């Protein structure tokens, strides 16, 4: 790959995917400041001016990786670094040196030290620390599940970073499931299966993020099954994250869900009020931004679903502060009104439904609007259409148009299919109930 291709790929990813998936304010504040460059033949680095922008871009990494994969038509690793493309932060450099020759997707800024512990995540934190210290083989596999933004990915990175710092001879492999799938597809094309299998099956710590992306991918499940077995049965450690418990992964083979359930399964709950206050105070101290106590309490009270929303609100206030505005309660209530609307009745429309459904199933809104017919896209699309029909006043034609110009017959079929399946499919009922709860 030529060096200047990184800029071409990034620009195309922004134009064709990212600008349609994030708000204009977020794009102009954070994404427009990225300077992409080719780190090596298989890695695109996104250089950004400071840690604040890096953290915000990393919140969108699943979307960024998917966009770059679609544009480049190859499995590329993507990292975000503070610097100008020639110099990276000292901490990132130290992580690279810890295991020379082993390219890593670990974020060195996600550690146990900066993970805020509360009632909803204390058990997951303790189990992750025990695994990192090799104190508890009975915890392997460690399966962490919960909604978006509750700290699952942070704990996986924390395990990896701890091991790399304290046991540098151990091979740590962290991989988002979607990237795992894309690499496997690349192996099918290049017939380099030995290289792929050696990379993962020789790991001392195999850390796999967002395992729900295996649903509906039968050949990939076969490969994952043997990879999991090889690592686990050799006495090594496996940790995984997901947005739902193993039994709710309805299109995964039974033998896989059985193995995922064979270790320690932990549900991470959204942070309680005290934890949210602690998180905001930590962010304020870390970034040197003074947030008045009444503003912190206001945010902690009204932004309760996950850590990512809290961080997003904090970054919004930080951006306002950098423009010279003083942060007061009145200012916070005004700039955060699209996030926080106490007492307001939430208006449920097709965009909100697609947003919640896409986050729940780990797909994108673009996928829901596309013509793709794979099972991992069809089911979320049908569920979203069903909920739009039940929860909004939209006509069949309007729903079809919202989903990329589908005709009304498609919407009727989706509604009837989900309505019928809900009578007998308990897993689907759990999914639809959970999605409707998130809609409020």
Domains and CATH numbers, the chain: 4-82 (3.30.300.180), 112-267 (3.40.50.300), 273-340 (1.10.8.60), 350-439 (1.10.1750.10)
C-alpha span between 225 and 197 (Å, rounded): 12
C-alpha span between 195 and 417 (Å, rounded): 43
pLDDT at residue 348 in the model = 83
Cβ atoms 354, 368 nearer than 8 A: yes
Q: Which two tokens stand for residue 289?
A: 């931004």
Query: Cα angle vertex 409, ends 405, 411, to 5°?
Result: 65
Which residue carries 């409707």 as its tokens?
A: 436
pLDDT at residue 381 in the model = 95
Mapping DSSP onto H, E and C, the string for 351-373 reads HHHHHHHHHHHCCCHHHHHCCCC
C-alpha span between 420 and 399 (Å, rounded): 20
Query: Model's pTM, two decimal places?
Result: 0.61
**Nearest residue to 168 (alpha-carbon basis) of 158, 160, 179:** 160
pLDDT at residue 409 in the model = 92
Mapping DSSP onto H, E and C, the string for 150-176 reads CCHHHHHHHHHHHHHHHCCCCCEEEEE
C-alpha span between 314 and 289 (Å, rounded): 10
pLDDT at residue 89 in the model = 44
pLDDT at residue 435 in the model = 86
pLDDT at residue 136 in the model = 61
Beta strands in 171-284 (DSSP E): 172-176, 205-209, 237-242, 264-267
Q: Which helix or strand (DSSP H or E) is residue 179 part of?
A: helix 177-190
pLDDT at residue 440 in the model = 64
Averages of pLDDT over runs of 10 residues in the chain (440 residues) are 78 86 73 86 84 77 85 83 58 42 67 90 93 78 88 94 93 88 80 85 93 85 92 93 86 89 89 90 87 91 81 84 84 81 64 87 87 89 94 90 92 94 86 81
pLDDT at residue 379 in the model = 93
Question: b/e for 227-264, b at 16 or more Cβ within 10 A?
Answer: bbebbbeeebbbbbbbbbbbebbbebeeebbebbeebb
Question: Which residues, in sequence order, are bridge partners of residue 208?
Answer: 175, 240
Cβ atoms 33, 146 nearer than 8 A: no
Cβ atoms 183, 196 nearer than 8 A: yes
pLDDT at residue 205 in the model = 94
Cis peptide before 185 (omega within 30 of 0): no
Cβ atoms 302, 321 nearer than 8 A: no
């Amino acid at each position: 790959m030529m060096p200047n291709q990184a800029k071409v790929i990034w620009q195309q990813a922004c134009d064709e995917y990212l600008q349609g998936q994030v708000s204009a304010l977020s794009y102009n504040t954070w994404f427009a400041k990225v300077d992409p460059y080719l780190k090596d033949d298989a890695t695109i680095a996104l250089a950004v001016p400071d840690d604040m922008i890096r953290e915000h871009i990393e919140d969108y990494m699943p979307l960024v990786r998917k966009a770059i994969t679609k544009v480049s038509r190859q499995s590329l690793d993507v990292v975000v670094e503070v610097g100008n493309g020639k110099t990276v932060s000292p901490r990132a450099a130290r992580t690279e040196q810890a295991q020379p020759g082993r390219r890593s997707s670990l974020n060195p800024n996600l550690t146990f030290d900066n993970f805020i512990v509360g009632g909803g995540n204390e058990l997951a934190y303790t189990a992750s620390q025990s695994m990192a210290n090799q104190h508890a083989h009975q915890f392997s596999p460690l399966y962490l599940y919960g909604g978006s933004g509750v700290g699952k990915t942070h704990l996986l990175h924390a395990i990896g970073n701890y091991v790399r710092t304290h046991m540098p001879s151990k091979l740590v492999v962290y991989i988002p499931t979607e990237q795992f799938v894309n690499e496997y597809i690349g192996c099918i094309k290049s017939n380099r299966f030995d290289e792929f299998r050696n990379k993962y099956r020789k790991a001392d710590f195999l850390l796999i993020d967002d395992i729900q992306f295996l649903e509906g991918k039968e050949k990939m499940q076969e490969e994952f099954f043997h990879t999991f077995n090889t690592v686990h049965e050799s006495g090594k450690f496996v940790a995984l994250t997901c947005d739902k418990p193993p039994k709710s992964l309805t299109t995964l083979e039974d033998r896989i869900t059985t193995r995922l359930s064979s270790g320690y399964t932990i549900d991470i709950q959204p942070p309680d009020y005290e934890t949210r206050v602690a998180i905001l105070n930590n962010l304020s101290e870390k970034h040197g931004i003074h947030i008045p106590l009444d503003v912190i309490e206001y945010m902690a009270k009204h932004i309760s679903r996950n850590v990512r929303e809290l961080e997003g609100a904090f970054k919004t206030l930080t951006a306002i502060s950098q423009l010279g505005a003083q942060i007061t309660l009145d200012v916070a209530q005004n700039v955060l009104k699209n996030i926080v609307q106490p007492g307001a009745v939430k208006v449920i429309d097709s965009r909100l439904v697609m947003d919640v459904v896409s986050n729940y199933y780990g797909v994108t809104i673009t996928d829901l609007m596309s013509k793709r017919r794979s099972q991992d896209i069809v089911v979320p699309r049908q569920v979203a259409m069903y909920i739009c029909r039940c929860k909004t006043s939209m006509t069949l034609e309007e729903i079809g148009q919202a989903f990329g110009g589908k005709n009304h017959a498609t919407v009727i079929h989706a509604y009837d299919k989900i309505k019928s399946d809900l009578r007998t499919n308990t897993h689907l009922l759990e999914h639809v109930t959970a999605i409707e709860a998130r809609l409020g």
